[in-house]
C-alpha cells in the first residue's frame, strides 16, 4: 500500500460510511462494492444488528490485515467521491441527515487531500535529494574522467614529434571530444585513402587537423588544410590543433577577411581540462574572434572580457 492507514483515516471513513446510508441494504451494497467479502457480509444479521454494530466489528477486523486495510482505503476513496446521498432522501429529517453526511464526507475528503499533498511534497523532496545525489555523482565521475584525460595527455609529452605519439594524440583528442559531448567523426581509411576526422559545433562542420610535433606548425600545413576545406561544402571550416603552436607566418596565412580556419594550441586544451571553459565554448570564442577581427588564432591570454 502506498499510504498508511492511520487511526484518523479509519475514524473518518467509519463516520462517513455510517452517516451516508440510512437503510442497511444500501450500506451493505456499498460495502460489497468496496470489496468486503460476501462471506463476511453474510454474517450481518440485518434483523438484530444495527449498522453501527456491524461497522464496529467490520472495522476492527479490517485493521488486522493488509488486505483489510486496502479495503478501508477503497472505502475512503469511494466515500470521498460522494456528491449526493440518495439513500437519505424522502425521510422526515432528510435535511439533517444529508447535512451530517455531507459534513462527514467533506472531512474525509479534506483529510485525503491533505495526506496526498503531504505525500507529494515528500515525494518531491526525495526526488530533489535523489537528483542532487546523482548530480554529485556525475560531477565526481566527470572530475575523475577529466583527471584521467589530463594524465593521459601529460604522459604523451615525452612522445611529441614521434609517429607513435601522433597516433596516440589523435586517439586522445577524439576521446576528449567525446568527454565534452561534441559530435565528431574519427578519421579512418577507405580503400587506402585517409578520410579526415571532423567535429560539428553549432551547425558547422569542422575538418580536424592535429599536429603533435616538437616544432611550431608552419605555413605549409596551414595551406594544406585550407585546400581541404575549400574543397568541401560551404558550411565547412577547419580546426587545427598544434601542440607546439604556430609560426607568425602560419597564423597570418590562416587569417583573413573570411577565414575558414580556427587555430588552437596546447593552452586551449589545458584551459578546457582545467574547467575554465568547456571546449565547445572555447571553439565559439575563437570563432567569434575570427569573425570580428579576421584573426584565426586567439591566445588563451586574450580570452578575458
Query: Which H or E run contains 237?
Result: strand 236-242
Q: Using CA atoms, how far apart are residues 47 and 67, in angstroms rounded to an integer?
A: 28
For the cut 90, the answer to whether the pLDDT of residue 188 exceeds it is no
Q: Using CA atoms, how far apart are residues 120 and 112, in angstroms rounded to an integer?
A: 12
For the cut 50, the answer to whether the pLDDT of residue 202 exceeds it is yes
Mean pLDDT for all residues in the chain: 93
Q: What is the pLDDT of residue 193?
A: 65
Q: Where are the domains of the chain?
A: 7-121, 161-302
Residues whose CB falls within 8 Å of the CB of residue 40, separated by 6 or more in sequence, listed in order: 58, 61
Comparing 135-144, 188-197, 259-268, which segment has the lowest mean pLDDT? 188-197
Residues 226 and 239: beta-carbon distance below 8 Å? no
Q: Using CA atoms, how far apart are residues 15 and 10, in angstroms rounded to an integer?
A: 9
Q: Using CA atoms, how far apart are residues 139 and 207, in angstroms rounded to an integer?
A: 31
User: What helix, strand, coil percent values describe the chain, rounded to 5?
Assistant: 60, 10, 25
Query: Which H or E run contains 265?
Result: strand 261-265
Helix ranges restricted to H, 47-186: 51-62, 66-80, 94-156, 163-179
**Is the pTM value of this prediction over 0.75?**
no
Q: What is the dihedral of CA 219, 221, 222, 228, to 10 degrees?
A: 150
Residue the block writes with cell 505525500? 119
CATH 3.40.1350.10 correct for 161-302: yes
Determine the average pLDDT of the residues in 267-274.
95
Query: Which H or E run contains 188?
Result: strand 188-190
For the cut 90, the answer to whether the pLDDT of residue 136 exceeds it is no
What is the sign of the dihedral through the CA atoms of 221, 227, 232 and 237? positive
How many of the other CB atoms lie within 10 Å of CB of 194? 9
What is the percent of the chain where pLDDT is above 90?
85
Q: What does the pLDDT look like over 228-255, one tens digit per residue?
A: 998 888 889 999 999 999 999 999 999 9
Q: Between these two residues, 218 and 144, which has the higher pLDDT value?
A: 218
Determine the average pLDDT of the residues in 108-134.
93
Amino acid at each position: 500500500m502506498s499510504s498508511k492507514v492511520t487511526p484518523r483515516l479509519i475514524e473518518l471513513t467509519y463516520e462517513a460510511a455510517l452517516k451516508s446510508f440510512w437503510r442497511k441494504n444500501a450500506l451493505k451494497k456499498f460495502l460489497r462494492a468496496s470489496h468486503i467479502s460476501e462471506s463476511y457480509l453474510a454474517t450481518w444479521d440485518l434483523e438484530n444488528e444495527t449498522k453501527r454494530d456491524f461497522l464496529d466489528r467490520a472495522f476492527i477486523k479490517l485493521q488486522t490485515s493488509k488486505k483489510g486495510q486496502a479495503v478501508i482505503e477503497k472505502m475512503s476513496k469511494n466515500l470521498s467521491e460522494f456528491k449526493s446521498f440518495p439513500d437519505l432522501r424522502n425521510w422526515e429529517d432528510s435535511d439533517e441527515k444529508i447535512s451530517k453526511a455531507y459534513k462527514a464526507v467533506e472531512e474525509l475528503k479534506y483529510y485525503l487531500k491533505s495526506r496526498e499533498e503531504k505525500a507529494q511534497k515528500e515525494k518531491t523532496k526525495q526526488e530533489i535529494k535523489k537528483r542532487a545525489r546523482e548530480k554529485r555523482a556525475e560531477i565526481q565521475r566527470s572530475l575523475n574522467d577529466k583527471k584521467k584525460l589530463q594524465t593521459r595527455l601529460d604522459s604523451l609529452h615525452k612522445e611529441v614529434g614521434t609517429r607513435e605519439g601522433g597516433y596516440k594524440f589523435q586517439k586522445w583528442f577524439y576521446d576528449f571530444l567525446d568527454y565534452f559531448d561534441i559530435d565528431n567523426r574519427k578519421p579512418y581509411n577507405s580503400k587506402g585513402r585517409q578520410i579526415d576526422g571532423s567535429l560539428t559545433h553549432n551547425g558547422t562542420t569542422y575538418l580536424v587537423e592535429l599536429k603533435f610535433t616538437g616544432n611550431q606548425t608552419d605555413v605549409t600545413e596551414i595551406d594544406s588544410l585550407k585546400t581541404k576545406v575549400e574543397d568541401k561544402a560551404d558550411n565547412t571550416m577547419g580546426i587545427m590543433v598544434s601542440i607546439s603552436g604556430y609560426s607568425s607566418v602560419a597564423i597570418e596565412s590562416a587569417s583573413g577577411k573570411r577565414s575558414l580556419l580556427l587555430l588552437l594550441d596546447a593552452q586551449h586544451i589545458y584551459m578546457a581540462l582545467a574547467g575554465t571553459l568547456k571546449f565547445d565554448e572555447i571553439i565559439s570564442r575563437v570563432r567569434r574572434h575570427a569573425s570580428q577581427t579576421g584573426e584565426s588564432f586567439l591566445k588563451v591570454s586574450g580570452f578575458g572580457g
